[in-house]
Structure 1
Amino acid sequence: MSSKQDKGLVYIVEDSIASGALYASQLEQVGYECKHFADGYSALVGIKEQMPLVIVQDVCLPDISGLEVLQFVNKQDNPANVVMITSNSSIDVAVEAMRLGGFDFLEKPFTSQRLISAVEGALTPKKQVKIVPEVKNNNKNEDFVGESLAMQTVFRLLDSAARSKACVFITGESGTGKEVCAQTLHDSSPRSQGPFIAINCAAIPTELFESEFFGHVKGAFSGALSDRKGAVEVANGGTLFLDELCEMELNLQAKLLRFLQTGIFSKVGSSEVLHSNVRLVCATNRNPVVEVAEGRFREDLYYRLNVIPVKLPPLRERGNDILLLAEYILKQKSESNAKNFNAFADDVKQLFCNYDWPGNIRELQNVIENTVVINDGEIVELDMLPSSFGLGSAKPASSTSSVSHIIANTLGSPMVAHDIEPLWQVEKRAIESAIRVCEDNIPLAAAYLGVSASTIYRKIKGWS
């Protein structure tokens, strides 16, 4: 029988003695040697003395932030991969941890198998992990480029998500590029050599969905003239992307949940049990929390899929990305239609920046392609645009300008001596206002404020 030392040393940093002992027991049963630390400072001493192969640590520790432990690990000569443990209330901190170099994260409650899989996935030495510094540079589709802070947040999150096997749930308005986001994630992951299979759940009739998903055997139903592989089988070893997931019927959601839990399935009309290893990426333009609350989407399936949430910003909130995308699309459409367009007139640029873009990138593509196909020239002039475009749709203030306005009002208002308030209160109000404008997205608010998200989390903790 193998000894416990065969698979190597794992540190568990968890302030709960019972939970730490449980995690250690689960890992020791499959051959790992474990050491348990109940606080951050003890873990730092242990890490300094001996670097383990993997560190499994809670985000919330009693003495120092789990993010500080992570940053300490990453400063060492041969840093271990770190798997973060989080709860629903600290999910934003976990996402920030992945941006800071965390390998993966586990959301409580999790099974022993999920813990073991996360540790096994983190065994790859850091220097050998495939890291894409900027996802946008690895993607050739015009739908997924950008330099705005909102998109840089998305790129950093995808970079971290690409290195794990966890399910990714992409949300965003129609036309924001959810499928391109999923394709980019696949291309940046270790599964890039495997297939990328996309299914639009809204486009498949309910009675055919199970067959489309799991496949069928000849004679399983009227019209089944031969055996057919389903998307789950075809995507084996790669990524399965389910778009418009909230359109799926509840009975089909139950079958999807079973597949996620076991990795096994049967074709329609067959009792043979098959296995498929796929990474699931889902997307919807609805609010999944609302769908769960109103009973249209299974809560257990939602938590199973929403391990790494990625929210794509609408085009109107991406600032100068509008022109960056427009110029890229213009180049592509001009080349594919053998035209000579290479720039936009200034008034066209101004219109593009002030337009609301309810159809997002898909609408931008449509407007530019329509213009290129119908017209000739080198500069896109205002009168070349479709006559129905841009009527009465003014763009609302962007998050950047809103945050700047808040900070200006907070810090720059005229005052007299008795109006002066303590600096921490001014700072608190500015931070809370920025978080509100950014719809509770703390990392995004931090980016606009010019500080790290961990700084904001630390200040929020200090106020309580």
Structure 2
Amino acid sequence: MSTEATQTTVLVVDDDHANQESVARIFQREGLATLCASNGAEAIELLRRPEVAVMVTDLMMPGIDGQELLKTARAMRPDVEVVLMTAYATVETAVAAMKDGAYDFITKPLKRHSLVKAVQKALEKQALVAENRDLRAQIEALGGQGSRLMVGQAPAFRALLEMLKQAAPATATVLLQGESGTGKELAARFVHEQSPRARKPFVAINCGALPESILEAELFGVEKGAFTGAVMRREGRFERANGGTLFLDEIGEMPLSAQVKLLRALQEGEIERLGGTQTIKVDVRVIAATNKDLQKEVAEGRFREDLYYRLNVVSVRIPPLASRREDIPLLADYFLRRFAQKNGKNVRAFSAEALAALENYAWPGNVRELENAVERAVVLCKGDIIEKSNLPEDVVRGPQGAAGHVIISIGTPMEEVERRMIHETLRHTRGDKTMAARLLGIAARTIYRKLERDAEISEGDRALLPKEK
């Protein structure tokens, strides 16, 4: 028995015709289309049909049994989830089925609730996989250069992406510097995903979010009895990241006592758990991130100089959103699609006024602030177009994005202040570097050199650079 439909279809495979019909009816009553097969050969033919999403098959059948059919299905249609039915369930057969890629294992006599729940969960997993695949495709289309995690086209962003790609294959530590909200963890994940360690763990910890004692326990692990409440041995982030990458966010907030232990871990490739005496070897690549000027922190005694040099092997600066304004429409559109899908809303685009407001705002909170603003707009949007009124009040009012003004947060490194001033002045002069230099009271060659340092200078402009004597 079968029902023909283009909707999501469950393929039922059982050599017992009565059981086959009974199972098919259960799914039909749940609003699902079904196809039925009496043996493995028939099932293999039906698996070629694109509407088949889940296969529910008996394990014990003559000819091609359920185990062999499962392996064939995983090879032919890895997107199809498989649920096995059997009256001869053992722990060994269940484990073997799961290893071969079965989604679930149902024992006979069959219960309607168990069958329906297993197939619903399989369909939910399938939908989640499809959603993630679609999002990755969107990011690739927006980010270019095969990027699966980063979105942007601006020269500053492309220079960043190229540097991250160059750093990825190495084992050297990487120090990511930039304002809050610029996407430092995203950059760290990108390096990990592009590295030989991509299939190993990526473990992150925020060094500024935990008290000193808890931070050390989280990083290096704890032996039973190390302190009150330590009732069992616990691995730290270094051990969990073994073979992979450890991301230390807000490294500038790490207490000096923890810095000493971190330095040893980086130098020797070994750690000791709190309360322990055993030395544990670890193979971990460390990527650290900060929004502080670590050289200033070193000068003022708040950060160890030897640790700074150990971390600063490959230094990468993440540009603020204000210096990659061309990317605002791309990022906004990406966030719109993501949050529309997440909230089940048919929101398609921004009005011209809304997009202009986004482009003119200064975004002191960088990409994170833009993401939050678009999510709010999607939630509040009543139609399919986001209007200016759906945006946060600060963005609508736009005082921070007014022409001729640059907002600099207290504590921003001087190098970053200079970069922001040059970018905003060039934006004001529509790229005229001579006029920008005159407005800033600096030599034109200074602008050229700073742009060259940031990899944001064209070959034509590079020829204008004065030769070093």
The alpha-carbon deviation at position 269 of structure 1 amounts to 0.9
Distance 1:358 1:390, change over 3 A: farther
The answer for the alignment partner of 1:221 in structure 2 is 227
Distance 1:190 1:402, change over 3 A: farther
The answer for the alignment partner of 2:107 in structure 1 is none
Q: How does 1:330-345 map to 2 (within 5 A)?
A: 330-345=336-351
1:350 aligns with 2:356: yes
Question: What secondary structure, in the 3-state scheme, does the structure 2 residue paired with 1:309 have?
Answer: strand
Question: What secondary structure, in the 3-state scheme, does the structure 1 residue paired with 2:315 have?
Answer: strand
| Alpha carbons 1:410, 1:429 under 8 Å: kept | no
1:195 aligns with 2:181: no
The alpha-carbon deviation at position 359 of structure 1 amounts to 0.8
Match for 2:223: what amino acid? V
1:433 aligns with 2:464: no
Deviations 1:413-441 (A, max 9, x none): xxxxxxxxxxxxxxx95332333xxxx45
Counterpart Cα distance in 1 of 2:145 and 2:178? 22
From 335, 352, 360, give the equivalent of 2:366: 360
Distance 1:298 1:411, change over 3 A: closer
The answer for the alignment partner of 1:61 in structure 2 is none
From 213, 216, 223, give the equivalent of 1:210: 216
Match for 1:180: what amino acid? L
Question: What secondary structure, in the 3-state scheme, does the structure 1 residue paired with 2:287 have?
Answer: strand
The answer for the alignment partner of 2:284 in structure 1 is 278
Q: How does 1:444-455 map to 2 (within 5 A)?
A: 444=454, 447-451=456-460
1:289 aligns with 2:303: no
From 151, 155, 171, give the equivalent of 1:149: 155
Question: What secondary structure, in the 3-state scheme, does the structure 2 residue paired with 1:393 have?
Answer: helix
Match for 2:371: what amino acid? Q
1:241 aligns with 2:247: yes
1:442 aligns with 2:449: no
Q: Which moved more, 1:211-220 or 1:399-408?
A: 399-408
Q: TM-score, normalised by structure 2?
A: 0.61
Q: How does 1:5-404 map to 2 (within 5 A)?
A: 137-141=145-149, 144-391=150-397, 392-394=399-401, 396=406, 398=424, 400-401=426-427
The alpha-carbon deviation at position 225 of structure 1 amounts to 1.1
Counterpart Cα distance in 1 of 2:164 and 2:425? 22
Q: Where does structure 1 lack aligned partners over 5 or more consecutive residues?
A: 1-131, 413-427
Question: What secondary structure, in the 3-state scheme, does the structure 1 residue paired with 2:389 have?
Answer: helix
| Alpha carbons 1:138, 1:188 under 8 Å: kept | no
| Alpha carbons 1:400, 1:448 under 8 Å: kept | no
Distance 1:290 1:139, change over 3 A: same
Match for 1:393: what amino acid? Q
Match for 1:447: what amino acid? E
The answer for the alignment partner of 1:112 in structure 2 is none
Counterpart Cα distance in 2 of 1:200 and 1:214? 14
Question: What secondary structure, in the 3-state scheme, does the structure 2 residue paired with 1:330 have?
Answer: helix
The alpha-carbon deviation at position 384 of structure 1 amounts to 1.6
Match for 2:215: what amino acid? F
The alpha-carbon deviation at position 389 of structure 1 amounts to 3.5
Distance 1:388 1:431, change over 3 A: closer
The answer for the alignment partner of 2:99 in structure 1 is none
| Alpha carbons 2:376, 2:390 under 8 Å: kept | no
Distance 1:136 1:185, change over 3 A: farther
| Alpha carbons 1:214, 1:265 under 8 Å: kept | yes
| Alpha carbons 1:135, 1:158 under 8 Å: kept | no
| Alpha carbons 2:165, 2:194 under 8 Å: kept | yes
Distance 1:411 1:180, change over 3 A: closer
The alpha-carbon deviation at position 450 of structure 1 amounts to 3.2
| Alpha carbons 2:222, 2:233 under 8 Å: kept | yes
Match for 1:409: what amino acid? M
Q: CA RMSD in A?
A: 2.6
| Alpha carbons 1:175, 1:361 under 8 Å: kept | yes
Distance 1:402 1:190, change over 3 A: farther
| Alpha carbons 1:340, 1:376 under 8 Å: kept | no
Distance 1:330 1:269, change over 3 A: same
| Alpha carbons 1:242, 1:281 under 8 Å: kept | yes
Distance 1:241 1:383, change over 3 A: same
Question: What secondary structure, in the 3-state scheme, does the structure 1 residue paired with 2:456 have?
Answer: helix
Counterpart Cα distance in 2 of 1:171 and 1:275? 29
Distance 1:218 1:309, change over 3 A: same
Deviations 1:75-119 (A, max 9, x none): xxxxxxxxxxxxxxxxxxxxxxxxxxxxxxxxxxxxxxxxxxxxx
| Alpha carbons 1:176, 1:362 under 8 Å: kept | yes
| Alpha carbons 1:317, 1:399 under 8 Å: kept | no
Q: Where does structure 2 lack aligned partners over 5 or more consecutive residues?
A: 1-139, 407-422
Deviations 1:158-183 (A, max 9, x none): 11001111111001111000001100
Counterpart Cα distance in 2 of 1:241 and 1:139? 20
Q: TM-score, normalised by structure 1?
A: 0.62
Distance 1:159 1:303, change over 3 A: same
Distance 1:331 1:291, change over 3 A: same
Aligned length: 306
Bigger-Rg structure (1/2)? 2
Counterpart Cα distance in 2 of 1:198 and 1:411? 42
| Alpha carbons 1:213, 1:232 under 8 Å: kept | yes
1:407 aligns with 2:433: yes
Distance 1:336 1:277, change over 3 A: same
